[in-house]
């Protein structure tokens, strides 16, 4: 999934903006400010929407305006560029918002002490535009591998799902070495857990997908065996199949567990609040945010699984699952 990058500049510096788009290449989706404004909407409303849709932003501060300050002539960036930098910085954080400033451009004193990427228009310099953009591209790639808490819930949902379900199921199976099927306890020799993340969500979240997926793959209901030695312990429900299907169930069995996180349904309701619409039809912006949330959920989950010996070798996360 390509990352979206909003790029802002003054209208006089579109040539620099286009050069940055070319330097970033086709691995990302660039949204120049010229494509960001919606008809019949205020400029501020359109920019706020972009702060929600963009994964990263780059603002280009060039020497556009000649001003006098305390008797001294200064060349300053256009006010709207500095405003947009603050807007995106506040919305996404310093790790996802970059200011590229032309050498000797007079910047607000609030940025004193902060390392700002300053570029030279002279090619071949250590800080030529192509080298500055290359360093930002590297930072974007590194940041893309990380997750953070935000207004949308996928990071928190993944943490909760892992701690309250996946980890506990693994711990109980390691401890009790058994499951319960229709009230009958069966010994488990080995187990694997597949976490299935659908390629998209419908208005019912994952409810219908779960029903159809389990039916298609012939998965049966079971629970982990509750441990009476642990106060408050309970069995955790899941769907499973036995490998191989004709194994003698009087002996310890190898089981393959599958779970489609029902907590993913929360994303649907969150997006409706985050980017409301009164129109009927496909909304590509909502589709993008949904895809981004599902991708981030999987990324966080894989990281948490890899950090615990009880889950590391026992759980696999499968993204973009479909019923086809």
Place 8 in a pLDDT band, splitting at 50, 70 and 90: very high
pLDDT of residue 225: 59
> Tokens at residue 172, please?
């109980």
Using the predicted structure, report yes or no on whether residue 78 has a pLDDT greater than 70. Answer: yes
pLDDT of residue 255: 84
Mean predicted confidence (pLDDT) in 167-172:
91
pLDDT of residue 72: 76
pLDDT of residue 295: 92
Place 39 in a pLDDT band, splitting at 50, 70 and 90: confident
What's the predicted TM-score (pTM) here? 0.77
Q: Residue 268 in contact with residue 174, Cβ under 8 Å?
A: no
Q: Residue 144 in contact with residue 95, Cβ under 8 Å?
A: no
Lowest mean pLDDT among 70-74, 81-85, 252-256: 70-74
Mean predicted confidence (pLDDT) in 70-84:
86
Residue 20 neighbours by CB distance under 10 Å? 23
Mean pLDDT across the chain, nearest whole number? 86
pLDDT of residue 286: 86
The top-scoring range by mean pLDDT among 30-34, 49-53, 112-116, 190-194 is: 30-34
Place 123 in a pLDDT band, splitting at 50, 70 and 90: confident
Using the predicted structure, report yes or no on whether residue 222 has a pLDDT greater than 90. Answer: no
Using the predicted structure, report yes or no on whether residue 164 has a pLDDT greater than 60. Answer: yes
Minimal CA–CA distance to 150: which of 317, 271, 46, 28?
271
* Known catalytic residue at 84: yes
In the chain the domains, ranked by start, together with CATH numbers, are 3-144 (3.40.50.450), 154-321 (3.40.50)
Mean predicted confidence (pLDDT) in 70-83:
86
Place 229 in a pLDDT band, splitting at 50, 70 and 90: very low
Mean predicted confidence (pLDDT) in 187-192:
89
Distance CA 35, CA 6 (A): 10
pLDDT of residue 153: 87
The top-scoring range by mean pLDDT among 87-101, 106-120, 180-194, 306-320 is: 306-320
Pairing between β-strand 237-243 and β-strand 253-259 as defined by DSSP bridges: antiparallel
Using the predicted structure, report yes or no on whether residue 155 has a pLDDT greater than 70. Answer: yes
Minimal CA–CA distance to 255: which of 264, 245, 265, 263?
245
| Residue of 29, 84, 182, 290 marked catalytic | 84
Percent of the chain with pLDDT over 90: 50
Place 11 in a pLDDT band, splitting at 50, 70 and 90: very high
Place 230 in a pLDDT band, splitting at 50, 70 and 90: very low
Mean predicted confidence (pLDDT) in 277-298:
83
> Which ranges constitute the DSSP H helices of the chain?
14-24, 43-53, 79-92, 129-144, 154-161, 167-176, 207-216, 265-274, 284-306
Using the predicted structure, report yes or no on whether residue 57 has a pLDDT greater than 90. Answer: yes
Using the predicted structure, report yes or no on whether residue 236 has a pLDDT greater than 80. Answer: no
Residue 130 neighbours by CB distance under 10 Å? 15
pLDDT of residue 79: 92
Q: Sheet of 3-8: strands edge to edge? A: 28-32, 3-8, 56-61, 97-102, 117-119
Using the predicted structure, report yes or no on whether residue 323 has a pLDDT greater than 70. Answer: yes
Residues near 32 by Cβ (< 8 Å), separated by ≥ 6?
A: 7, 14, 17, 18, 21
Mean predicted confidence (pLDDT) in 12-32:
95
> Tokens at residue 131, please?
């080298």
Using the predicted structure, report yes or no on whether residue 241 has a pLDDT greater than 70. Answer: no
> Tokens at residue 213, please?
């997926």
Q: What is the DSSP letter of 162?
A: I
Q: Residue 261 in contact with residue 26, Cβ under 8 Å?
A: no
Distance CA 3, CA 144 (A): 8
């Amino acid at each position: 999934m390509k990352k979206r990058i909003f790029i802002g500049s003054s209208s006089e510096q579109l040539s620099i903006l286009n050069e940055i788009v070319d330097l970033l290449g086709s691995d990302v989706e660039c949204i120049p400010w010229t494509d960001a404004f919606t008809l019949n909407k205020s400029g501020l409303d359109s920019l706020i929407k972009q702060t929600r849709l963009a994964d990263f932003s780059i603002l280009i501060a060039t020497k556009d305006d000649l001003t006098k300050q305390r008797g001294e002539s200064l060349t300053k960036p256009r006010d709207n560029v500095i405003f947009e930098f603050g807007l995106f910085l506040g919305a996404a954080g310093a790790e996802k918002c970059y200011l590229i400033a032309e050498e000797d451009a007079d910047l607000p004193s609030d940025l004193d002490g902060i390392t700002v990427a300053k570029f030279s228009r002279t090619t071949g310099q250590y800080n030529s535009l192509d080298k500055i953009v290359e360093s930002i591209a590297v930072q974007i790639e590194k940041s893309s591998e990380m997750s953070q808490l935000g207004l949308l819930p996928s990071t928190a949902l993944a943490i909760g799902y892992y701690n309250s379900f996946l980890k506990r199921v693994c711990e109980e199976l390691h401890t009790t070495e058994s499951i319960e099927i229709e009230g009958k306890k069966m010994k488990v020799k080995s187990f694997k857990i597949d976490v299935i993340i659908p390629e998209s969500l419908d208005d019912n979240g994952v409810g219908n997908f779960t029903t159809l997926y389990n039916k298609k793959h012939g998965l049966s209901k079971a629970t982990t065996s509750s441990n009476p030695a642990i106060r408050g312990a309970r069995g955790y429900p899941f769907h499973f199949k036995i490998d191989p299907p004709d194994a003698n169930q009087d002996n310890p069995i190898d089981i393959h567990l599958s779970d489609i996180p029902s907590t993913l349904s929360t994303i649907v309701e969150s997006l409706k609040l985050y980017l409301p619409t009164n129109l009927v039809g496909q909304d590509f912006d909502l589709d993008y945010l949904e895809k981004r949330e599902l991708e981030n959920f999987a990324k966080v989950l894989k990281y948490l699984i890899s950090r615990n010996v009880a889950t590391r070798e026992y759980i696999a996360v499968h993204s973009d699952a479909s019923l086809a």
